[in-house]
A and B are shown apart, each in its own frame.
Chain A
Amino acid sequence: MKNITIAALTAMALAGGAQAEEFTVGAELPLTGTLARVGSGMQEGVMVAAEVFNKTNGKHKIKIVTIDDESAPAKAVAAVEKLASQGAVAITGGYGSNNISPASDAANKLGLVYMTSGGVDDSLVNSGRKNFFRINNTAGYEKAVLGLLADMGAKSVSIVFSTKEATSDLANSVQKALTAKGIKATTHSFDPAITDFKPIINKIKLQDKSEAILMVGYENDYVGILRAARVLKPPVKAMIGVWSLATPKMAAEFPDLMPNVYGTALLPFPAVFDTADGKVFADTYKALYKKEPDYLGQFGYVQSMLLFEAIARAADKGTVKKGGVAEELRKTDRETLIGRVQFGANGDNPNFVHRMGQHQGKNIVIVWPRETATGKMVYPGLPW
């Protein structure tokens, strides 16, 4: 009996090539600390991707092991190393160049691919990293904001931005681009700890006299800025933000602050998923977490799905342990929830262009670019 079993197993092994395998993918994310909010959002997207992949792939399986990097670089490095020792074949996650930079270097040294949507900084792709991949970048946000402003025909913009790295990078790029086009752009930086924005908005109201205000910050900043604007009522025609603003959550929690406010948004709300991919994402997300997906979950999902697919292709060729994942990722070229994704030699996604949405009533309508717009923008339009 034993001989036959051994013979059978040997035969199967010799048949070689594609066998159904289970792969461990490590998720290194901030679940505690200052970045806890974004980390947990991304984690949801990653888990949904694993669920969907396991159901639809039919051959290979993905197991996610998550380690909290506590929003700290040293612990991000340690998390990657622990995941590697637990047999992870790739890493998905990370937020903030401060954490992603050392973590992806650690992954690189261990021969693991590092895939993220949380590092939009240029230095990440300009340092010669071979195993680093990301699906979004500052340029994509910049294009969206500039496109919207162009559609509006605004002649002057006041840019209010947090002095943190990602926000100031974007704000400064946008300012340069606007000035080059002959549009007056005044910048006002603020320390992330500021809670009262009335002095800044007052300056914009009395000195800048701009047509639009561009806010580059995070959720708490938007709330503060919009509140100050509602109180002071500067004579602008539009309030535009970037990430974390055009979300159903903001609409539900701050209904007085959101009307007609713009922000980057991948999908309208109520989300209309017209692709099969999108539908399965939305349904699985709702089933697992009992709430509507937000942009963090969407990014987490897209980045992970692309990673899993590359792993599956590499597994079929037997090259997973030999750099096959990175190779397959570079061959990626497909439409996703965030548009077409490809990876350049430096790991960046050159096609990334975000979309602009506007809060209209209880919904979020995509108003730019025209190809994916689901409605017209209300301009001028303000929350007061």
Chain B
Amino acid sequence: MNRPGAGASTGTGARAAAGAAAGIGRLWWIAALAAAYVAVPTVLGADNYVMSLIVAAMVIGCVALSWALLGNMGGMVSFGHSAFFGVGAYVSAIVTAKLGVPVLAGIALGGAGALLASVVMLPVLRLRGPYFALAILAYAHIFRILATEWSSVTGGSGGIANIPVLPTIFGYDMSGKTGAYLTILTIVLLFALAYRAMRASHYGIALRAMHDSEDATRVVGVNSTLLKGLMLMVSAFMAGVAGAFNAHYINFLEPDYAFNSVWVTVPIVAAIFGGYRTIAGPVVGALVVYLLDQLVFKTLIPTGHQLVLGGLLVAMIIFSPTGLLALLRRKDHA
């Protein structure tokens, strides 16, 4: 709304306003962090059921974040993030259960394993759009079958049972619901910060330029394939860590579960729903979609709630394709 003489649109007034807005933005983030780390465990910690749902949603959120990162920074849509999730899960499970590596190190190794898996996928980078998306899916299937057939290492279709639980850190037992929640929360937070740093760095700017025109960046001298490869590896690492965490949280792993298509579809839905162009979008989307589905829809319509979820998705795409966060922000400006 423009009032006559609304004040200087340039100069100190605007800069002060921008500074104030940034300050409010920062306050908002601090409040959100405080809520996540303190309020949620204190208020909900006793309710195992809700905490279960939140942890599961956060795992999805982590994969969604990694998927969105690949899409935004690498410009590539992937239909096979379950490949990284599963490899991360198996590597971590095997090194901790069979080689006695401590769990946290195992999770990091799981991420590294997924990163190595992405190296195998580098030749696929030169494929366009849907070809790339499907090629990654093919890898996911191949890894699943490898996990089933290579039974001496992976336990075959029977999988690996009794995977070690999250350890006790500073005297706090992480294997409980609250501990698991705090662990995954920290992981997601670290990844989000890393994502933000990458986006702001000059690599990030180069990648976004590349997103708009690959030819232009070639001319300027940016090695687009190398950057894309790096983004694939980062995305794989993140998804792998999510898978590794999940393995230690559920304590059981088998090929069908580790490489299940649910680790492909739900994160994509979550990322799009929350707004995949933003950093918070995928995680917020995951929480909203998962919790809404399990807490609200499932109680109302026990055997048809997935239908409602499908309908919600359809509605979202038609009315607010840039996601939930964008929809909420639009409402504020009205």
Partner of A102, one of B59, B250, B302: B250
Alpha-carbon distance A32/B262, docked complex (angstroms) = 14
Q: CB-CB < 8 A to B257: which residues of A?
A: 73, 98
Q: A73-B252, A74-B56, A165-B254 are in contact. Are A85 and B47 (CB under 8 A)?
A: yes
Say whether B252 contacts A81, CB under 8 Å: no
Interface check B9, CB cutoff 8 A = no
Alpha-carbon distance A105/B49, docked complex (angstroms) = 14
Interface string of A96-119 (1 = CB under 8 A from B): 011001100110001000000000
Partner of A101, one of B251, B294, B298, B306: B251
Partner of B303, one of A31, A72, A78: A31
Q: How far is the CB of A26 from chain B (nearest CB, A)?
A: 12
Alpha-carbon distance A171/B161, docked complex (angstroms) = 20
Say whether A169 contacts B158, CB under 8 Å: yes
Say whether B158 contacts A102, CB under 8 Å: no
Residue of B nearest to A36 (CB): B303
Q: CB-CB < 8 A to B214: which residues of A?
A: none
Q: A73-B252, A73-B257, A98-B252 are in contact. Are A168 and B49 (CB under 8 A)?
A: no
Q: CB-CB < 8 A to A73: which residues of B?
A: 250, 252, 257
Interface string of A70-97 (1 = CB under 8 A from B): 1011110110011011000000000001
Interface check A28, CB cutoff 8 A = no
Interface check B42, CB cutoff 8 A = no
Interface string of B66-88 (1 = CB under 8 A from A): 00000000000000000000000
Interface check A123, CB cutoff 8 A = yes
Please classify how large the interface on chain A is, using the bins under 10, 10 to 19, 20 to 34, 35 or more: 20 to 34
In chain B, positions 31-55 with a C-beta closer than 8 Å to chain A are: 47-49, 52-53
Q: A81-B49, A84-B48, A165-B254 are in contact. Are A127 and B161 (CB under 8 A)?
A: yes
Q: CB-CB < 8 A to B303: which residues of A?
A: 31-32, 68
Say whether A97 contacts B252, CB under 8 Å: yes
Q: How far is the CB of A39 from chain B (nearest CB, A)?
A: 11
Q: A32-B306, A81-B48 are in contact. Are A121 and B158 (CB under 8 A)?
A: yes
Q: CB-CB < 8 A to A121: which residues of B?
A: 158
Q: CB-CB < 8 A to B162: which residues of A?
A: 123, 127
Partner of A165, one of B52, B149, B157, B294: B157
Binding site of B, secondary structure by majority: helix, strand, loop or mixed?
helix
Alpha-carbon distance A127/B158, docked complex (angstroms) = 14
Alpha-carbon distance A343/B304, docked complex (angstroms) = 37
Q: CB-CB < 8 A to A68: which residues of B?
A: 298, 302-303
Interface check A371, CB cutoff 8 A = no
Interface check B156, CB cutoff 8 A = yes
Q: CB-CB < 8 A to A67: which residues of B?
A: 302
Alpha-carbon distance A165/B251, docked complex (angstroms) = 17
In chain B, positions 137-189 with a C-beta closer than 8 Å to chain A are: 145, 148-149, 156-159, 161-162
Residue of A nearest to B304 (CB): A32
Interface check A274, CB cutoff 8 A = no
In chain B, positions 231-276 with a C-beta closer than 8 Å to chain A are: 246, 250-252, 254, 256-257, 262
Report which residue of A70, A73, A106, A123 has the largest number of chain B beta carbons within 10 angstroms of its beta carbon: A73
Partner of B251, one of A32, A82, A102, A110: A102
Q: CB-CB < 8 A to B47: which residues of A?
A: 85
With an 8 Å Cβ cutoff, the count of chain B residues facing the other chain is 29
Alpha-carbon distance A308/B49, docked complex (angstroms) = 25
Q: How far is the CB of A77 from chain B (nearest CB, A)?
A: 6
Residue of B nearest to A105 (CB): B251
Alpha-carbon distance A77/B251, docked complex (angstroms) = 11
Interface check A321, CB cutoff 8 A = no
Say whether B56 contacts A165, CB under 8 Å: no
Q: CB-CB < 8 A to A127: which residues of B?
A: 161-162
Alpha-carbon distance A77/B250, docked complex (angstroms) = 9
Q: CB-CB < 8 A to B49: which residues of A?
A: 78, 81-82, 84-85
Q: A32-B303, A165-B159 are in contact. Are A78 and B250 (CB under 8 A)?
A: no
Alpha-carbon distance A84/B145, docked complex (angstroms) = 37
Q: How far is the CB of A183 from chain B (nearest CB, A)?
A: 24
Say whether B159 contacts A98, CB under 8 Å: yes
Interface check A362, CB cutoff 8 A = no
Partner of A74, one of B145, B148, B250: B250
Interface check A191, CB cutoff 8 A = yes
Q: CB-CB < 8 A to A165: which residues of B?
A: 156-159, 254
Residue of A nearest to B303 (CB): A31
Residue of B nearest to A167 (CB): B157
Interface string of A140-168 (1 = CB under 8 A from B): 00000000000000000000000111001
Q: CB-CB < 8 A to B158: which residues of A?
A: 97, 121, 123, 165, 168-169
Q: CB-CB < 8 A to B156: which residues of A?
A: 163, 165, 168
Q: CB-CB < 8 A to B148: which residues of A?
A: 163
Say whether A78 contacts B157, CB under 8 Å: no
Residue of A nearest to B253 (CB): A98
Q: CB-CB < 8 A to B48: which residues of A?
A: 81, 84-85, 106, 110
Q: CB-CB < 8 A to A98: which residues of B?
A: 159, 252, 254, 256-257
Report which residue of A98, A101, A105 has the largest number of chain B beta carbons within 10 angstroms of its beta carbon: A98
The 6 closest A-B pairs by CB, nearest first: A81-B49, A101-B252, A81-B48, A78-B52, A165-B157, A82-B49
Q: List 5 A-B contacts (CB under 8 A).
A: A31-B303, A32-B303, A74-B56, A85-B48, A169-B158
Query: B residues touching A (Cβ–Cβ < 8 Å)?
Result: 47-49, 52-53, 56, 59, 145, 148-149, 156-159, 161-162, 246, 250-252, 254, 256-257, 262, 294, 298, 302-303, 306
Excluding A81-B48, A101-B252, A110-B48, 14 further A-B contacts by CB distance (< 8 Å) are A73-B250, A73-B257, A74-B246, A75-B294, A78-B49, A78-B52, A78-B56, A84-B48, A85-B49, A98-B257, A101-B161, A163-B148, A165-B159, A165-B254
